[in-house]
Structure 1
């Protein structure tokens, strides 16, 4: 992810005044990509990042409802799934004859692609009439999401039309309309509508405020066809831990709201990375999210693979960092400028070291979950190009490791998933100099080469032996070059720097090595022991770096925070390595965190531990929802069940005994080879699997 991470800044009254990224931790976000609404907990748009966004623009930046002369007290508000929310406010003193509130205003919000509706309902439950003027105030700056994210002040647009119940704004190509279903009294101030209400006892008054946004240039990625079949099977979970059940339900709704379609082939869909800042195609994020959802079917994986294959690198372009066979990092219509222009990314940017091996691994894993042979075979030329990139471009200096360096001076300095400028550090706090070879990227490359070899052999294509040998050489070199020691013992460094020195800080990146095949049993156990120690395990998930690191910061983007997907990957890796106790411990912490965020885990949150706080502490600027944070619910559930598939061999594997905190358990909505599968786990831990015919169930 592209982020702005200043080391220090003066506190000021508003983010816009200082050019600071606005906070999101208390925002209510409803969405149907490529549109979403960000508001205060009471439903109003109150500045900062609040507003209605569509297609990388803020269509509406102000929407407030007041009752003239009547104090309003918000009492409750929150999500109803992913695209709906409800907010209730008491009009204090109106029609009151006792201390009991009498008049309540409720906003029922529904967000769709290109549109959102606030249904306003006012009910007088008092014993006397209520009479007051309801005022709606609206406005917009038509800012880009980049401007909003950077805290840049943009002047309000002028109202271009206003009448009975309708307002409009336009800059010539982008048009916004806010219309009410009841006639309104136009205010003397532009952008204001009035409704005079007289409510008898027991009377109800309603109107709908409908806001639409139209971009004459079109959006980079549209919403999928509403009539299209579901992109995955809907999971239904009932377990002894209802927190896990709630997390899975909310995650499923959020993921559905993040779906976008490929304009070149609308039947193909993928998951946008997150709202509000990353509602577009990101190679790494979309691949990880699709991989995590494989137990629910292979359709999303196949679509995601095809979307990225269509944009696979063909030429060597230093400006965009495109290279033949390479999978892209992100797509934005106007590119992206950050840090006063020090970072200036082109609209289609390939500056990532890990998306290409992750693409290969997703193809392999989708094949094992039953992706039809014809779909796999159609993608094999792209797989061969991706494998060639690992060898010919990913390893630029020929030392046998994948490394990155930004040669443009305007791109991302770090090009793994921890892509902030200060994320790759030595134990003493010093920065690694490029080119940088990240530890987890070597694990991805090993897994990709092995998986690629399996695909080539299965489909009768040459090169399988070569890639298996390449992977084994990488494995041997990794063991010699990356392992370091401190007082607690041996562990892999986060990276090698340009001088091939191990960058020896202890980071959560090592969790991504587990279960890839790069490590032996003893090495996996060393990592498991370290990850479950108190300096890594916050009790809510894994810190990105140990709490004893000299520059540790619990609210540091990659220097002490907790990323749910990062912990989920470690949980899955531990389970694959046969280290179920450690996997269960980390999974329990993450589920506890999900409960603290009303089942919608954010992109990241602060690294404060359960010994410091009863509740997880937000990272205030975090996106919420985020695709791979939501998909982690499936990844963690699958890990707890020890679930894996090998359809070419006709087998599905589950754990012989599920962690006691989650049983009894019943999970339906799983799909293997396109057919439904269910798992029931008894109170004693014994699983019963209803699998498709021709599939043999193994327990381990």
Structure 2
């Protein structure tokens, strides 16, 4: 993600790193909550957020004047509920008697719906005597912008009104420097014995064997009165909405491997959690907590990972990004006509221009990826209606590639930030130290990244393919540009002595001869010759890249290699997945199965939820992968990685225009002997397929076929 974010969180939140590893997140639309494993928020990097503003910054529960003893906690597999189970510590004497520890079960159950957090605190007395249980909640609302929470300093803040307490509720209000007023409300189903602007105190009488429930709501004000009926109603709505998102498109499962199925289920649930249904269609937000917003690059790649199973994501992403395509020049926004958005934010700091991310275009690769995804979407769906509607946007995008993306006039797409407030590096490895020469020096700009040229090649090819179906006469021109891009990359980026591609060219056209995983993305686009693809694959499968848990972003021995860094030696699941899918295009099915097995092994140590990244230390027997302390979890393109890798391993190619599913030399990952692919929609037809391991071979068997779709096996 953005280098500005990464630097600030590692500097500003270092004191809370251990806590961040244990944060629990829930999301619905533009609202999310981050809390610790007890369910508490302490005013650090946690809280209840809506549209990039923190509505609740502190919410800490005590029972009997102390934090309860935690028994267990976690997120439900469908990502709807957070539940924490705990029990009381010894209670203070009440009426001459005190209850011992461990007699009261306390359950906190929470979900997010309709721009608010719903919580039920259930207390059950399992002791042999009646108990008086004092419970208290300390709370606060600071209305901090998400960039403020991340560590960005502000010269001026708005005015916060004193909270007002009224019976069972407290209302918070903030008048921003941007002229907008923001309010939130915290309400309880029972009147507290004492309620102030920052604390609610209760005294619950719990007869032995009895249960008592307290319902709580917090969100955009004003508050309704919480009760059991509202909790149940909105819980059902939240679960139904999540189920609807999870069931879009085709499904894939392995019937005899529960752990592998758990990974598939968790990954699909994470993509569903992060997907927000916008007026333009579903859009996968990048990640919780820091990137719960539409990102161009992340949305496109996640949609591409899921394209074979659920094309609706790609349509939603393309339509949303087209509606926000740049039409003018702005150094602050790093925009130019035709460029596709990198990021959008809704908070006060973005609205005031304190940060440029309200609508920011500083991603050099997003425009090329937008065009390439459109071509892949058309082939997958045959949806000419959508492509025709997007055609002016696609023409504007390739116009940017030709007129503004080629800064050096050498036929390559390059970048140099237009303002100091923007990102210094503008590819997917956007931390400030991720692009460098062999000796560690940073390159002078404008910089032409290796993988971006691959995306441009894929974009020109996609335009040529779409033009043939649309009837645009420029088909030959765009095909020629694809060929020219391929020739330039092979000539200028290839390092014969390394048998590998340089990570970038600097502003003087000199190679940045670092050895990085960017070459795997080039394989994904199909640009390299078969001979060079084999050389790249061989090196990427060697020990300098393979950690045993996936591929490192930078080869060991490079000048800035650090397995604990953000981009210089860590493992990003989506990066490994794209490299694996690229290898598969050149027939390397066993390499894909190998890497899929490694990523699966890593997932088993992360409770089947892959983080944004983890450290690139070498895998040792009996030891887990080492977490990166402030990685987003969940994160969209990490969750989508398993599906891209499975498509690559199974050799599935779908052409809805020809109404055919091609299966090219499928290979199941180790330990998986059967996979069922159900409800695969191809044009007006639908098919169910089973992939079965028989001896040394994997065979595919159609189980059901409706409508005009054929299955063709190759090899």
TM-score by length of 2: 0.89
Partner residue, 1:87: 84
Change (3 A) 1:617 1:157: farther
Taking the aligned partners of 2:10 and 2:678, their CA distance within structure 1 comes to 51
Q: CA deviation at 1:555?
A: 1.7
Deviates more, 1:680-689 or 1:203-212: 680-689
Q: CA deviation at 1:69?
A: 4.5
Counterpart contact for 1:395–1:403, Cα < 8 Å: yes
Taking the aligned partners of 1:588 and 1:40, their CA distance within structure 2 comes to 31
CA deviations on 1:91-133 (whole Å, 9 max, x unpaired) are 1346999999321111011112411111101111222222221
Taking the aligned partners of 2:107 and 2:43, their CA distance within structure 1 comes to 21
Q: CA deviation at 1:683?
A: 3.1
Q: CA deviation at 1:319?
A: 3.2
Counterpart contact for 2:603–2:609, Cα < 8 Å: yes
Q: Which 5+ residue runs of structure 1 have no aligned equivalent? A: 216-222
Partner residue, 1:514: 523
1:285 matched to 2:301: no
Taking the aligned partners of 1:165 and 1:24, their CA distance within structure 2 comes to 32
SS at match of 1:514: helix
1:642 matched to 2:651: yes
Equivalences for 1:522-601 in 2 at 5 Å?
A: 522-601=531-610
Q: CA deviation at 1:442?
A: 0.7
Partner residue, 2:232: none
SS at match of 1:682: strand
Equivalences for 1:409-558 in 2 at 5 Å?
A: 409-485=420-496, 489-558=498-567
Partner residue, 2:211: 204
Q: CA deviation at 1:373?
A: 1.8
SS at match of 2:439: coil
Q: CA deviation at 1:26?
A: 1.5
Equivalences for 1:547-696 in 2 at 5 Å?
A: 547-611=556-620, 614-661=623-670, 662-673=672-683, 675-684=685-694, 685-689=698-702, 690-696=704-710
Partner residue, 2:404: 393
CA deviations on 1:276-318 (whole Å, 9 max, x unpaired) are 1112221111111111111223222112111111121222333
Q: CA deviation at 1:667?
A: 2.7
Counterpart contact for 2:64–2:89, Cα < 8 Å: no
Change (3 A) 1:577 1:179: same
Taking the aligned partners of 2:540 and 2:98, their CA distance within structure 1 comes to 61
Partner residue, 1:168: 171
Partner residue, 1:235: 251
Q: CA deviation at 1:70?
A: 5.7
RMSD: 3.0
Taking the aligned partners of 1:156 and 1:52, their CA distance within structure 2 comes to 20
CA deviations on 1:460-483 (whole Å, 9 max, x unpaired) are 111111111111111112111111
Q: CA deviation at 1:174?
A: 1.2
Change (3 A) 1:443 1:362: same
Q: CA deviation at 1:656?
A: 3.2
Partner residue, 1:255: 271
Change (3 A) 1:158 1:242: farther
Change (3 A) 1:426 1:517: same
Q: CA deviation at 1:444?
A: 0.6
Counterpart contact for 2:524–2:582, Cα < 8 Å: yes
1:316 matched to 2:359: no
Counterpart contact for 1:51–1:60, Cα < 8 Å: yes
Partner residue, 2:13: 15
Taking the aligned partners of 2:512 and 2:159, their CA distance within structure 1 comes to 48
Counterpart contact for 1:140–1:156, Cα < 8 Å: no
1:367 matched to 2:378: yes
1:148 matched to 2:149: yes
1:35 matched to 2:31: yes
SS at match of 2:3: coil
Q: Which 5+ residue runs of structure 2 have no aligned equivalent? A: 176-180, 223-237
Taking the aligned partners of 1:391 and 1:533, their CA distance within structure 2 comes to 37
SS at match of 1:466: helix
Taking the aligned partners of 1:675 and 1:637, their CA distance within structure 2 comes to 22
Taking the aligned partners of 2:242 and 2:98, their CA distance within structure 1 comes to 51
* Count of aligned residue pairs for this structure pair: 679
Taking the aligned partners of 1:673 and 1:133, their CA distance within structure 2 comes to 61
Deviates more, 1:382-391 or 1:354-363: 382-391
Counterpart contact for 1:23–1:49, Cα < 8 Å: no
Taking the aligned partners of 1:146 and 1:159, their CA distance within structure 2 comes to 24
Q: CA deviation at 1:393?
A: 1.5
Q: CA deviation at 1:531?
A: 1.3
SS at match of 1:648: coil
Equivalences for 1:68-83 in 2 at 5 Å?
A: 68-69=64-65, 72-80=68-76, 81-83=78-80
Taking the aligned partners of 1:516 and 1:295, their CA distance within structure 2 comes to 16
Taking the aligned partners of 2:644 and 2:355, their CA distance within structure 1 comes to 34
Taking the aligned partners of 2:669 and 2:609, their CA distance within structure 1 comes to 24
1:191 matched to 2:204: no
Taking the aligned partners of 1:5 and 1:560, their CA distance within structure 2 comes to 19
CA deviations on 1:647-685 (whole Å, 9 max, x unpaired) are 112221224332252221223243322654322122312
CA deviations on 1:220-241 (whole Å, 9 max, x unpaired) are xxx9x96997593262522554
CA deviations on 1:140-176 (whole Å, 9 max, x unpaired) are 2111110111176999966522133322211141111
Taking the aligned partners of 1:410 and 1:8, their CA distance within structure 2 comes to 14
Taking the aligned partners of 2:68 and 2:663, their CA distance within structure 1 comes to 54
Taking the aligned partners of 2:45 and 2:189, their CA distance within structure 1 comes to 27
Change (3 A) 1:456 1:476: same
Counterpart contact for 1:331–1:349, Cα < 8 Å: yes
Equivalences for 1:90-105 in 2 at 5 Å?
A: 90-93=87-90, 101-105=102-106
Deviates more, 1:228-237 or 1:58-67: 228-237
More helix, by proportion: 2
Counterpart contact for 1:329–1:352, Cα < 8 Å: yes
Partner residue, 1:129: 130
Taking the aligned partners of 1:78 and 1:203, their CA distance within structure 2 comes to 25
